[in-house]
Structure 1
Amino acid sequence: MGPPLRPDTQTPAYLMDLLANGDLQTTGTDNCTFSASQKALGKDNFTKIPNGVNGVEDRMSIVWEKGVVAGKMDPCKFVAVTSTNAAKIFNIYPKKGRIAVGSDADIVVWNPHATRTISAQTHHQAVDFNIFEGMEVHGIADYVICHGRVCVEEGNIRVVSGMGKFVPTLPFASHVYGRVDERDRANAPRKVERAAYDGPVTRINGPTHTHTSLDSHIIPTTAPDFYTRGAQVSDKSPKRPSVKVNNPPGGKASGSFW
């Protein structure tokens, strides 16, 4: 997995906080599994490790456990970050991400009270380890309905190959770009509509301000103590002679000792 998972226990809680308050809008796993023997390709050179781990089967249970059970989000927010927001971002809402007339019959029947312990011995993924091994979670998908067909029933997979369908997505989803357009409209200058003034004009009797030449602000009116032509204030001080005098340590002594 790149970047590799860190042992810092604060990072998962911080990411869940961002998901709960809306700074992060959705979740994903990028599920791509490799067995332990396949991962061993990089035991001497990490650049050769196949990149990818499991996650898609356990994603919703993890978010429910760390979000709803932990009290950081309510069930409606859980639905948004696992389904609705993704459909809006990919511009396929309300065809996806909503239960309504005209929407696709893709439904998860969620059991919030059921518990399970995640393990490589019981998961359905084609991999011999699980990065969430031993974690006990609340919340299980009892039923998964795809295109009106039951694909998961009480933990049993009933997948039929070849039933997928391409869903075209238009660019510039309003959920993403709508707020940008609203911000641009809000910050755009607005013309003030008003009639031209046709009332009386009154002359002001009093001192008027005349334009002041820029030079008057640059050239001082009094001679400064510092001149720019080379002379300094210290030039008027008496200068010491440049004759070197050799005296014993402590200065010149009187008498005939030296």
Structure 2
Amino acid sequence: MSDKELIICKIKMRFRILLNSDDLQTTGSDNCTFNKEHKELGKGNFTKIPNGVNGVEDRMSVVWEKGVHAGLLDPCRFVAVTSTNAAKIFNLYPQKGRIAVGSDADIVIWNPNATRTISKETHHHACDFNIFEGMVCHGVPEMVLVRGRICVEDGSVRVAEGYGRFVNTPTRPPYLYDVLEGKIAANEEHNGEEHEEQLNNGLKKLDLGALEIEIPYQEPISRTLLSMPGAGGSVASTPSGRGRVEGTRNMQESTFSVS
């Protein structure tokens, strides 16, 4: 394994560990498909590569394979990072993300013992390649229900046009804001020296009135120090009796007058 492959492997492993520890709460695909010829537009200039790849169809299988099947996630955590937490973040919970009376019957029937190989030949993405090409996944969705109606069964999609409906998403989801507001309240209650020290970046507040500063006495300078060009390296010169440096013109003695 090359150094580059090792780094990529470590990054992938770290993401899965963060999902397990709840440092990452959910997964997404940002699905946006393009054919190979579209992607090749950026061969000579990467800024011309259209953004996006396939992912939405394979997301749950890949998370199960790399998370649960690999021993890094348990099935309950799998449900959380693929469904429940997203519903909470978008303030759709418990209407979505939960199996309960009154909740929408959006359900995936999952077979952990079945396997499938991801391939461009069998996927439903509108593109001619798949970034997960050849990956064998242990864990397959056998049936998908949307509000109680079967829309996927045995790999076949059965979508009724016009069956979708608008779902309101209120602002300030408690899943996010309760945590933030709890931290703010805890900080406000935490008064005292420790809190004050945190506000000063770990430095204690400086009491200027308590400082004792000793200023050493210095003799007054008795002669004028001037920097004179061509003074032979010496920067000290003695003023004349008239209070000016010798060799300089008295600017008060001028023949200029206004007549």
Shift of 1:218: 4.2
2:117 aligns to what?
117
Q: What's the CA shift string for 1:187-228, capped at 9, x where partnerless?
A: 33389xxxxxxxxxxxxxxxxxxxxx989x4458xxxxx753
TM-score using structure 1 length: 0.72
Residue 189 (structure 2) aligns with: 189
Q: Distance in 2 between matches of 1:170 and 1:40?
A: 41
Q: Which residue does 1:63 correspond to in 2?
A: 63
Aligned-partner SS, 1:126: coil
Measured against aligned partners, the alpha-carbon deviations of 1:207-257 in whole angstroms (never above 9, x if no partner) come to xxxxxx989x4458xxxxx753379xxxxxxxxxxxxxxxxxxxxxxxxxx
Q: What's the offset of the Cα at 1:185?
A: 2.3
Correspondence for 2:243? none
In the TM superposition, structure 1's runs of 4+ consecutive aligned residues that sit over 3 Å from their partners are 217-220
Deviation at 1:182, TM superposition (A): 1.6
Give the secondary-structure state (helix, strand or coil) at the position aligned to 2:169: coil
**Amino acid paired to 2:48:** K
Q: TM-score, normalised by structure 2?
A: 0.71
Q: Which residue of 1 aligns with 2:219?
A: 229
Residue pairs, 1:1-258, within 5 angstroms: 8-189=8-189, 217-218=212-213, 227-229=217-219
The aligned amino acid for 1:176 is L
Report the CA distance between 1:125 and its aligned residue. Answer: 1.0
Q: Deviations over 1:141-169 (max 9, x none)?
A: 00000121101111111112221111111
Cross-structure match for 2:204: none
d(CA) in 2 for partners of 1:84 and 1:214? 57
Counterpart CA distance in 2 for 1:71 and 1:218 is: 65
Q: Select between 145-154 and 40-49 the one with higher mean Cα deviation.
A: 40-49
Q: Post-superposition shift, 1:123? A: 0.9
CA distance in 2, matches of 1:48, 1:219: 68
RMSD: 2.4
Look up the match of 1:242.
none
Please state how far the C-alpha of 1:105 moved relative to its aligned partner: 1.1
* Corresponding residue number in structure 2 for 1:236: none
Offset at residue 114 of structure 1 (A)? 0.5
Q: Distance in 1 between matches of 2:190 and 2:85?
A: 33
Q: What secondary structure is seen at the aligned counterpart in 1 of 2:11?
A: helix
- Structure 1's 120 and 158: CA in aligned 2 closer, same or farther, altered over 3 A? same
Cα distance in 2 between the residues matched to 1:60 and 1:190: 43
Q: CA deviation at 1:7?
A: 7.6
One-letter identity of the residue aligned with 1:58: D
Please report how far the alpha carbon of residue 17 of structure 1 lies from its aligned counterpart in structure 2 after TM superposition: 0.8
Cα 1:228–1:84, aligned 2, differ >3 Å: closer, same or farther?
same
Instruction: Determine the C-alpha separation between the residues in 2 that align with 1:68 and 1:123.
Output: 23
Distance between the aligned counterparts of 1:121 and 1:190, measured in 2? 60
- Measure how far apart 1:180 and its partner are: 1.3
Tell me, which stretches of 5 or more residues in structure 1 are unaligned?
1-5, 192-212, 221-225, 232-258
CA distance in 2, matches of 1:125, 1:158: 15
State the distance in 1 between where 2:111 and 2:150 align: 16
Structure 2 alignment gaps of length 5 or more: 1-5, 192-208, 222-259
| Aligned-pair identity (%) | 58
User: CA 1:21–1:227 in 2, change beyond 3 Å: closer, same or farther?
Assistant: same
